Structure 1
Amino acid sequence: MKTKIILLCCLFALQIVQGQDLESLLKIGVENSPSLQKFELKYLGVSEKKNEANSLPNTEFGFGYFVSEPETKTGPQRLKVSVKQMIPWFGSISSREAYSQSLAEVSYEDIQIAKRKLIASISEQYYTLLAIKAKQKVVKENKALLVIYEKLALKAIEVSKASAVDVLRLQMRQNELQQLALVLDQNFRAQQAALNLLLNRAKETPIQIPEVMELPKEEVLLTNKKLGVHPELLKYDKLYQSVIKSELVNQKENKPMIGFGLDYIAISKLPVANLNDNGKDVFMPMVSLSIPIFNKKYHSKTLQNELKQHEIISEKQERLNALKTLLETAKTNRVVARIRYETQVKNSEQAKSAEKLLLQNYETGTVNFKEVLEIQELQLQFQTNQIEAVKSFFVQTTIINYLSK
């Protein structure tokens, strides 16, 4: 089980952008998650039912005391002790064990599903933090750029190339970026707390996040071949098998049960001399047979199992279609995210070129700081959109990994 956990963590770690941080977070999450522990304990409990199934019915003991002692030829009966053990039909115990094992296999798939969902949740939360961190860096760079603009504007005022209004505009823009920086800081704290809670640790625990988000250069080819072995679908297969095993148990229970027992009767001696077997106790071995004559419930159980099998087949097909739709949507959204990213990169480069052209006017004539601010706002918007596109790309990849790994 530990090997599978490590393998899943490696499969979900994408490119260098995640570094070792995400891998370590995934490992912590898998080891500490109370949700996973809940499913693992449930699995152990269901597995233990196999030992419960490997047992015989209760042994029956009886004791009777004759208040009015009936007379026999060898003496009056004083008391009677009996013991009886019923034995299920041949193969009943093994069929019950097989059914319990099939339920444990279903519970095991619940663990695998929970692991995948946990890894996907941690990864998505990590990318959210990564995006916020990248935005914080962009805002910091833009704030530093506005400080340079402000110095240029003050110098421009001295030589009558700008007005005090331009300086005020720059300062108001600085205030807006300061506000955005504070909001991003609060968002980062909230998302960091959410991620730490997913990891089942103190919400104030610091998480080291890189400041850069980049798309991988090479695109990974994706297919739907592995979707058929997804735990959510394997669970339906194992549920189907458990119904088959349940029907085998039902058929065995519809067979007779054989009972073996022994009766002991204590006899008192008669006040008669030379009487053979005087006061001799009685031992009487017994065999009994329990036949389910009124077996309507077993026929009903068979019909219920048949209906349950058809229900599982329909549910599996429905879930398969839903997973295929989710996978195709994620693949499409990932392509769209790359397109948006490339568009925003082009827009950002063009905005920088426009910014340079505007600043070149500072040496030759009056600088239009209003246009500079507009370009700066556009550049910040393009950079933010670029970060969101990268985040979307990795979130969609997380969904794809959940479905296909």
Structure 2
Amino acid sequence: MKLIDLLIIKLSNKNGMLSILFSLFFFLIGTAQQLQPYLTQALENNPEIKAFELRYETAREKVQEVGMLPETQFGAGYFLSEPETRTGPQQYKLSVQQMIPWFGTITARKNYASSLADAQYVEIATVQRQLLLNVAENYYRLYAIRAKQRVLEENIDLLEAYEQLALTSLEVNQASAVDVLRLQMRKNQLQERFENFDEEFKAEQAAFNTLLNTERGATIEVFDSLAVPQEDPVQLPEVPQIHPELLRFDKLYESVEEAETLNRKEALPDMGFGVDYVSVGEATAMEAPDSGKDILMPMVSITIPIFGNKYKSVTRQNELKQRELNAQRENRHNELVSRLEAAVSNRTKARISYQTQMLNLQQAKDAEEILMRNYETGTIDFNDVLDVQELQLSFQLNLIEAVKNYYQASANINYLSDNSE
């Protein structure tokens, strides 16, 4: 087989490399299905999510706690010096009392505790969404590393073909030993980059598996290629008012409202009901009617909050807290809008870079074909070969980076705009 034919075979294998480029015009239907199991696993296993779920369960249990009446008070006393009464000496005393908050106070406490639990639940939604975003971004980084390694492998094969071509040209004095050495050094550089990508993949793999709460070295199935769609959605995304990061402030605002309702209830009197029982002995000094008759005395008490400035201060604090939450919500909304605009801009820039790299790659391929035709006439310049190969590799790596940036930006847009474009 002629060496030119060998090179053509190598270049046809390069079409395997170019297949990455051509297949980038199409979405792979299996992409979402391949990522979905990891997203599900992260939601099920991530310890941070479990911690927030337990915190929510604790907050829900608090509702039951505050819904109880105050503890019943029991008392007992023994008269060391028995006071003598007309009916006999008092020996000991037993008492029981139950305080009851004003009507609706317990309900207000439960509503307040429930509103705090609702705020915790929104926190879970926020953490879950952030986790899914982190998993997706990490996954696209893993994809980019593997795609770059495939490109490097194919370029190494291509350099080997060029090396064989240079050795043949050296035999007929159409190339120098320096040309062969430069090709070999260039191949060594690509091999080094390939091995560095291996280490980078291991680090990203460990981080990815940490998000999934699984073994750090667990195998990750990364799809072979991704495509940038021909068009982006025409409608610009917006940050919804019901975004979990904003809904959290709404729930906290509602909890402050419930806290104020509870404060007003607690400013009202508390009622207490009870009974005292006194044991009376037989009278010894004289005979009397009802001698030794025990005493049973029903009791009613009331707690009046005379110093109401405390409750007025709490009301003022709640008003200030609501104003603070409104300001925080507005500030957070502005931050999310800025992040969304940046994500849309990054996605647009990624698309522009993608289209530019595709154009550059086609032109590099044309230049390569010209070099091959020159070889047929015996006038190949291996300096030009290396220059074109280096440019081509740079365009290929930049293309993969553009695809990764596009999908990471899309993941951020989905996180911020709550759409499924």
- Superposed pair shares fold, TM > 0.5: yes
One-letter amino acid of the structure 1 residue matched with residue 389 of structure 2: Q
1:291 pairs with 304, 308, 321, which one? Answer: 304
In the TM superposition, what is the alpha-carbon distance from 1:193 to its structure 2 partner? Answer: 1.0
Give the 3 Å change call, closer, same or farther, for CA 276–15 of structure 1 in structure 2.
farther
> Amino acid of the residue matched to residue 127 of structure 2?
A
The yes-or-no answer on 1:373 pairing with 2:392 is no
- Cα deviation, 1:96-140, whole Å, max 9, x if unaligned, reads 000011000000010000000000000000000000011001001
Q: Structure 2: how far apart are the matches of 1:313 and 1:170?
A: 65
Contact 1:64–1:79 (8 Å) recurs in 2: yes
Which residue in the other structure is 1:137 paired with?
Answer: 150
Q: Which residue of structure 1 aligns with residue 275 of structure 2?
A: 262
Asked if the contact 1:125–1:191 (Cα under 8 Å) also holds between the matched residues in 2, the reply is: yes
| Shift in Å, 1:271 | 3.6
User: Which segment is superposed worse, 269-278 or 78-87?
Assistant: 269-278
Q: How does 1:323-362 map to 2 (within 5 A)?
A: 323-362=336-375
Structure 1 position 16, deviation (Å): 3.2
Q: Which runs of 4+ in 1 moved over 4 A?
A: none
CA distance in 2, matches of 1:182, 1:58: 70
Task: For residue 164 of structure 1, report the CA deviation from its aligned partner.
Answer: 1.4
Q: CA deviation at 1:226?
A: 5.2
Aligned: 1:110 with 2:102: no
**CA deviation after TM superposition for structure 1 residue 276, in Å:** 2.1
Map 1:177-216 onto structure 2 (within 5 A). 177-216=190-229
CA contact (8 A) 1:261 1:286 kept: yes
- Unmatched 5+ stretches in structure 1: 1-13
**Matched letter for residue 107 of structure 2:** S
* CA contact 1:15–1:216 (8 Å) conserved in 2: no
Aligned-partner residue type, residue 46 of structure 1: A
1:249 aligned to 2:262? yes
For the residues of structure 1 that align with 2:30 and 2:396, how far apart are their CA atoms? 17
Q: 1:152 aligns with which of 140, 161, 165?
A: 165
User: C-alpha distance in 2, partners of 1:308/1:15?
Assistant: 50
The alpha carbon displacement at 1:17 in A equals 6.5
Following TM superposition, by how much is the alpha carbon of 1:67 offset from its aligned partner in structure 2, in angstroms? 1.6
Cα RMSD over matched residues? Answer: 1.4
Q: Deviations over 1:59-117 (max 9, x none)?
A: 11111111221111111111111111111000000000000110000000100000000
How many equivalent residue pairs?
392
Aligned match of 1:164:
177
SS of 2:240's equivalent in the other structure is helix
List per-residue Cα deviations over 1:354-403 (Å, max 9, x = no partner): 01101111111221011010000000000000011111000101111111
- SS of alignment partner, residue 243 of structure 1: helix
- Contact residue 74 and residue 276 of structure 1 kept, 8 A: yes
- CA deviation after TM superposition for structure 1 residue 294, in Å: 1.3
Aligned partners of 1:61, 1:166: CA distance in 2, in Å? 101
Q: Secondary structure of 1:227's partner? A: coil
For 1:28-43, list aligned pairs within 5 A.
28-43=41-56
Cα distance between partner residues in 2 of 1:252 and 1:402: 41
Matches of 2:240 and 2:267 in 1, distance apart?
40
Percent of paired sites with the same residue:
49
Normalised TM-score (structure 2): 0.91
User: Taking structure 1 as reference, are residues 17 and 191 closer, same or farther at Cα in structure 2, changes over 3 Å only?
Assistant: farther
Gaps of 5+ in 2: 1-26
Alpha-carbon offset, residue 242 of structure 1: 0.2
Equivalent residue, structure 1, for 2:70: 57
What residue identity is the alignment partner of 1:167?
Answer: V
SS at match of 1:136: helix
- When normalised by structure 1's length, the TM-score is 0.94
Q: Which amino acid aligns with 1:23?
A: Q
CA distance in 1, matches of 2:287, 2:178: 138
